[in-house]
Structure 1
Amino acid sequence: MTNLPGLRSYSSPDMHEGSSMGFTADILADVRRQITPDDAALKEARQRRDATLAAAGGFEGVLETFSSGSIAHGTANCPIHLRDKGLDADCGVRLDRRFHRTLGPDSDQEEGPGGVVERLRVHVRSRLKADYPDVAITITKRALLVRFHSPLPTGEDPSADLVAGLERKDAPGLWIPNTERERWDPSHPQRHTEMLTADPKEVRVTRARAIRLAKAENKRTATGPLCSFNIEAFGLMFVEGAMAEPEALLALWSQGAKDLRRRLTPDPAKVSGAIKVADRDRAVHRLEVAAGALKDALEHDDDEPYVRKALAPLWPDYVATAGGDSKARIAATVRAGESLSFGRTGLSGSPAASTGVALTKRPRSYGDAAG
Structure 2
Amino acid sequence: MTLIQAPTKSTTLEATLDSARRSIEVASNELAEARKRRDAISAALRKEFPGSRTYVNGSIAHGDALTPLTDVDQGVVIPDPDNIYGPGRFGPTRLEERAAEAIRVALKPDYGDLTVEVKGRKRSILIRFRDPVTPGQPDFTADVIVAIDNPGGQGLFIPRYTGWDRSHPEAHTRMVRQAVKDTDVMYARIVRLLKHWNRSNGKPLCSWNIKALALGCITSPVGLVEGLQLWFAYAADQLNDGETEDPARVAPHPIKLNNPRPEVVRQMRRALDTLLYAIKLADQGYEILALDQLADLFNDENMLPHPTRSAVMRQQADRIKDQGSNAGSSFGSPALIPSTNSLRERVGTRSWAV
- The TM-score range, normalised by the shorter chain, is 0.7 to 0.9
Bigger mean CA deviation after superposition, 260-269 or 148-157: 148-157
What is aligned with 1:285? 266
Does the Cα contact within 8 Å between 1:135 and 1:147 map onto a contact in 2? yes
- 2:144 match: secondary structure: strand
**Does 1:127 pair with 2:106?**
yes
Aligned equivalents of 1:191 and 1:46: distance in 2?
A: 20
Question: 8 Å contact 2:25–2:64 — kept in the other structure?
Answer: no
Question: Post-superposition shift, 1:168?
Answer: 0.6
What do the CA deviations read for 1:280-319 (whole angstroms, capped 9, x no partner)?
Answer: 1111111111111111112222422111121122212122
AA aligned to 1:225 is P
Unaligned runs of 5+ in 2: 310-354
The aligned residue for residue 157 of structure 1 is 139
Match of 2:17 in 1: 28
2:242 pairs with 1:253: no
Contact 1:6/1:298, CA 8 A, preserved across alignment? no
User: 1:45: which partner in 2?
Assistant: 34
How far, CA to CA, are the matches of 1:178 and 1:61 in structure 2?
24
1:65 matches 2:54: yes
Match in the other structure for 2:95: 116
Identity in percent: 32
* Equivalent in 288, 294, 318 of residue 305 of structure 1: 288
- The structure 2 residue matched to 1:102, chosen from 84, 97, 102, is 84
Residue equivalent to 1:141:
122
CA 1:153–1:75 in 2, change beyond 3 Å: closer, same or farther? closer
Asked whether 1:263 is paired with 2:242, we answer: yes
- 8 Å contact kept, 1:62–1:93: no
Which amino acid counterpart does residue 219 of structure 1 have in structure 2?
R
Question: Which whole-Å CA distance do the structure 2 matches of 1:226 and 1:87 have between them?
Answer: 17
Q: Secondary structure at the match of 2:183?
A: helix
Go from structure 1 to structure 2 and tell me whether the alpha carbon gap of 1:145 and 1:122 turns closer, same or farther (over 3 Å shift): same
Residues 130-171 of structure 1: CA deviation (Å, up to 9, x unaligned): 222221111231111111111224535232211001111121
Higher relative contact order (CA 8 A, sep 6+): 1
The Cα of 1:232 is off from its aligned counterpart by 0.3
For 2:195 and 2:110, the matched residues in 1 are separated by 33
Q: For residues 204 and 268 of structure 1, do their structure 2 counterparts lie closer, same or farther at Cα, with a shift above 3 Å needed?
A: farther
Inter-partner Cα distance in structure 2 for 1:210 and 1:60: 38
CA distance in 2, matches of 1:199, 1:283: 25
Shift of 1:72: 0.3
* 2: CA distance, partners of 1:320 / 1:282: 26
1:171 alignment partner in structure 2: 153
Instruction: Say if 2:205 is the partner of 1:226.
Output: yes
Contact 2:179/2:187 (8 A) holds in 1: no
* Alignment partner, residue 87 of structure 1: 70
Q: Which letter does structure 1 place at the counterpart of 2:250? A: V
Structure 2 Cα separation of the partners of residues 3 and 269 of structure 1: 31
> 1:54 and 1:320, CA in 2 relative to 1: closer, same or farther beyond 3 A?
same
Larger Rg: 2
Letter in 2 for 1:305: I
Would you tell me which structure has more helix in proportion to its own residues?
2
Alpha-carbon distance change, 251 to 170 in structure 1, aligned in 2, over 3 angstroms = same
Corresponding letter in the other structure for 1:8: P
Distance 2:45 2:256 in 1: 30
Aligned residue type for 1:160? A
Describe the shift of the 1:3–1:38 C-alpha distance in structure 2 as closer, same or farther (beyond 3 A).
Answer: farther
- Tell me the equivalent position of 1:336: none
Counterpart-to-counterpart distance in 2, 1:314 and 1:300:
14
Cα shift at 1:121:
0.8
Match of 1:214 in 2: 194
Structure 1 Cα separation of the partners of residues 279 and 270 of structure 2: 14
Aligned residue-pair number: 300
Q: Where do 1:287-366 residues align within 5 Å?
A: 287-301=268-282, 302-317=285-300, 318-323=303-308
| Cα distance in 2, alignment partners of residues 195 and 247 from structure 1 | 22
With over 3 angstroms needed to count, the CA separation of the structure-2 counterparts of 1:69 and 1:200, relative to structure 1, is: closer
TM-score by length of 2: 0.79
Q: Tell me whether 1:183 sits opposite 2:168 in the alignment.
A: no
Structure 1 residues 76 and 50: CA distance shift in structure 2, 3 A? same
Deviation string 1:3-32 (CA, Å, 9 cap, x unpaired) is: 9834436xx4xx3xxxxxx22112211221
In 2, are the aligned partners of 1:168 and 1:174 still within 8 Å (CA)? yes
Q: Give 1:204 shift.
A: 5.0
TM-score by length of 1: 0.76
